[in-house]
Chain A
Amino acid sequence: MKIEKKANGSALEIALEGRLDTMTAPELEKELNGILGSADSLVLDFGKLEYISSAGLRVLLSAHKAMSAKGGMKVTKVNEIVQEVFEVTGFADILNIER
């Protein structure tokens, strides 16, 4: 998986590419732990994300909770497969998703 960060002041944008699963979720978690403290808002660009597993969802949930007290978190450009996972797991009702 590839993680691409773009910081615009305290607005953080992260683009993910590949698969967010058991193997790669810890990578993202580590990245986020390092920078979420200083970010006021977070946009996750899922344009090139092919797949997300429950381990990935867990990282999303953590980030969502961390950001909800601040400027919030937005997930953008979600593809069919990932959207289905969001719907099945109920994440679709919790997350701010922009397709």
Chain B
Amino acid sequence: MKLLKQHAAVKSIGGIVLLLLVFFATVSLIGYNSFTEALLSQYSEGAFLTAETAARRLDADRMEEYAQSGGTTPEYLEAWNEMDELCNSTGATFIYVIQPDRSDYAHITFLFSTIDHDSRYTKYDFGYVRDTTNDEYRQKYRALYELEADRELLIRDRGYIETDPHITAMIGLKGADGQVKAILCVQRQMDVLATARKKYLSKIVLALIILVLLVILGQSAFLHRTLLQPLKQISDEAKRFSKENVKAEKKLQDTIRNRDEIGHLAASIDKMEDRIQNYIESITQITAEKERINTELALATRIQADMLPHVFPPFPDRNEFDLYASMDPAREVGGDFYDYFLVDDDHLCMVMADVSGKGVPAALFMMASMILLRNNAMLGKSPAEILTDVNAAVCANNREEMFVTVWLGILEISTGRLTASNAGHEYPVLMRAGGEFELYKDRHGFVIGGMEGIRYKQYELQINPGDRLFLYTDGVPEATDADKELFGTERMIQALNEHKDRRPEEVLNGVRRAVDGFVKEEEQFDDLTMLCLAYRGSADDICLKDE
């Protein structure tokens, strides 16, 4: 947060500071220039005034004479002394009279040279010859001699390290014939200008620094109050909410009253908290509801599974046959069921059924069907009668149009005579003693619950000692692998035959392993329900065999 704060403040204040700097630079440049100009004109005026005073004292026509005299005549010396006084009384640094070399103005010869005694310079002796300082001077000299200029001014203001900034006022000394005989130069140092400018600049900079500091302070205080503090408040609130998921006691809008985007943001956060809170509440409710339903569904699944007989061996005192059955439900309660029970001492009833659809409706329908089938069977009816009556009962109250496929068979244990009826269910698989498991394509009636008034037919089948019967629901052949390929009856029969001599329990386990190996990780949508009966023969047969 600290980093962000700095960042945001720097960004917004930086722009203002930059603008201030540009403004000050412009102002000080203009000030600097007009300041310099004013001072320069004052300096030059003073310098020319001195020069004109000196020029009046000097007689131009005598210059040639002075030059010839070698600088020793009393007249010359008197003039020199007066010039010296003038120089020291007017604030000029240097007053000198020169004669340039007229051919190209490259050399100058000093006639007079006086100097302010307080300055750090030394004067040139009479007749001293030196090179003209630069082209600028040369042009000025030429202008005075040849272009009839009365006066010339030369400003050396910047960039001279060896000398301080100075101006030189030049006047051509004209003889009676109007010709320039020599040049009088008055040089003035501009030290006052330099220091004044320095002072001016430092004042400007100081003012700038103070102003910038004020702006930074003021702006950050403003930003802090209007932007950063509300932002921090919002961010803190968002952090708090994400941790606690409970609405704040005091809304952000109550403390952040900005009418700008920050205000909108605060309002939005408040609204979002409201919505999320409501959402969380309804989700909690839904989840609780779902959990309750799940618990009840789990209970229903258990009750359903408990309905199926599941104690093995089922009839420990009956050694005429061996029977095993199992149901592995798919992900939720389904509609498969098996059943077996003794109608009387000599009659074993076996049921394999599959209700259309899944879930609670199928489970309820399955319960009803199972009880109807069992009750009708216990009355001693034949399989065809049982199915016909159950169909009539189911159809009477079947608004949901559900149906169930049923294979029902009653085995006369003493004789091995099996009477069975098939209401739209899968073909049973039969193994004759010593042979292989094979589909037994029995006659089919329509599913139970599908159509009113159907009269089911039944068939008889002789089961001999050593024979085996395998019943199943479509969950077995229709188990599906990842490529949507069905397990199929062929694979099922193959799996059966691989375990055909085992006990019924092992046969079923073998088939289940084969199915599991086929579908692998793929989730199954149908129950896996199987029943296997191994008939050993009547009690008499077994006794004979034992003897």
Chain A residues with a Cβ under 8 A of chain B:
19, 21-23, 25, 50-51, 53-55, 57-58, 61-62, 65, 81, 87-91, 93-94
Q: Is B402 an interface residue (CB 8 A)?
A: yes
Per-residue A-contact encoding for B386-430, CB less than 8 Å = 1, 0 else: 000000000000000111010000000000000000011111000
Q: Is B356 an interface residue (CB 8 A)?
A: yes
In the complex, the number of residue pairs spanning A and B with C-beta atoms less than 8 Å apart equals 67
Question: Are A58 and B357 in contact, CB atoms less than 8 angstroms apart?
Answer: yes
Give the size of the chain B interface in residues (CB under 8 angstroms): 27
Q: Bound complex: CA of A50 vs CA of B478, how far in Å?
A: 12
A51 cross-chain contacts in B, Cβ below 8 A? 478, 486
Known: A58-B356, A87-B444. A53 touches B474 (CB 8 A): yes
For A50, A81, A88, A89, which residue has the most chain B Cβ atoms within 10 angstroms?
A89
Q: Bound complex: CA of A44 vs CA of B348, how far in Å?
A: 43
21 contacts between A and B (CB under 8 A): A22-B525, A51-B478, A54-B356, A54-B357, A54-B405, A54-B474, A58-B403, A61-B447, A61-B450, A88-B424, A89-B405, A89-B446, A89-B447, A90-B424, A90-B446, A90-B447, A90-B450, A91-B424, A91-B447, A91-B450, A94-B451
Per-residue A-contact encoding for B96-107, CB less than 8 Å = 1, 0 else: 000000000000
B355 cross-chain contacts in A, Cβ below 8 A? 54
Q: Is B526 an interface residue (CB 8 A)?
A: yes
A50 cross-chain contacts in B, Cβ below 8 A? 484
Chain B residues with a Cβ under 8 A of chain A:
335, 354-358, 401-403, 405, 423-427, 444-447, 450-451, 474, 478, 484, 486, 525-526
Question: Are A61 and B403 in contact, CB atoms less than 8 angstroms apart?
Answer: yes
Q: Bound complex: CA of A44 vs CA of B426, how far in Å?
A: 24
Closest CB-CB distance, B134 to chain A, in whole Å? 99
Chain B's closest residue to A66 (CB) is B401
Question: Are B424 and A53 in contact, CB atoms less than 8 angstroms apart?
Answer: no
Other contacts beyond A22-B525, A57-B403, A89-B405: 14, CB < 8 A: A19-B484, A22-B526, A53-B478, A53-B526, A54-B355, A54-B357, A58-B357, A58-B401, A65-B401, A88-B425, A89-B444, A89-B446, A90-B424, A90-B446
Question: Are B446 and A93 in contact, CB atoms less than 8 angstroms apart?
Answer: yes
Q: Bound complex: CA of A55 vs CA of B335, how far in Å?
A: 11
Q: Bound complex: CA of A22 vs CA of B335, how far in Å?
A: 12
Q: Bound complex: CA of A80 vs CA of B343, how far in Å?
A: 39
B486 cross-chain contacts in A, Cβ below 8 A? 51, 81
Chain B's closest residue to A92 (CB) is B444
Question: Are A88 and B450 in contact, CB atoms less than 8 angstroms apart?
Answer: no
B474 cross-chain contacts in A, Cβ below 8 A? 53-54
A91 cross-chain contacts in B, Cβ below 8 A? 424, 446-447, 450
A19 cross-chain contacts in B, Cβ below 8 A? 484
- When the two chains form the complex, which single residue of B358, B427, B447 contacts A55, counting CB atoms closer than 8 Å? B358
Chain B's closest residue to A81 (CB) is B486
Q: Bound complex: CA of A88 vs CA of B36, how far in Å?
A: 116
- When the two chains form the complex, which single residue of A23, A25, A94 contacts B450, counting CB atoms closer than 8 Å? A94
B402 cross-chain contacts in A, Cβ below 8 A? 58
A22 cross-chain contacts in B, Cβ below 8 A? 357-358, 525-526
Chain A's closest residue to B401 (CB) is A62
Q: Bound complex: CA of A81 vs CA of B446, how far in Å?
A: 18
Chain B's closest residue to A93 (CB) is B446
Q: Bound complex: CA of A61 vs CA of B525, how far in Å?
A: 21
Question: Are A94 and B401 in contact, CB atoms less than 8 angstroms apart?
Answer: no
Question: Are A90 and B401 in contact, CB atoms less than 8 angstroms apart?
Answer: no
Q: Bound complex: CA of A69 vs CA of B402, how far in Å?
A: 20
Closest CB-CB distance, A1 to chain B, in whole Å? 12
Q: Bound complex: CA of A7 vs CA of B60, how far in Å?
A: 129
Question: Are B446 and A21 in contact, CB atoms less than 8 angstroms apart?
Answer: no
Q: Bound complex: CA of A21 vs CA of B523, how far in Å?
A: 14
Closest CB-CB distance, B441 to chain A, in whole Å? 9
Q: Bound complex: CA of A25 vs CA of B402, how far in Å?
A: 13
Closest CB-CB distance, A60 to chain B, in whole Å? 10
- When the two chains form the complex, which single residue of B354, B427, B445, B451 contacts A54, counting CB atoms closer than 8 Å? B354
Q: Bound complex: CA of A43 vs CA of B442, how far in Å?
A: 30
- When the two chains form the complex, which single residue of A55, A81, A90 contacts B423, counting CB atoms closer than 8 Å? A90
Question: Are A57 and B447 in contact, CB atoms less than 8 angstroms apart?
Answer: yes
A90 cross-chain contacts in B, Cβ below 8 A? 423-424, 444-447, 450
A93 cross-chain contacts in B, Cβ below 8 A? 446
Question: Lowest 8 CB-CB distances: which A-B pairs, in order?
Answer: A90-B446, A89-B424, A54-B356, A58-B356, A90-B424, A55-B357, A90-B444, A62-B401
Chain B's closest residue to A57 (CB) is B356
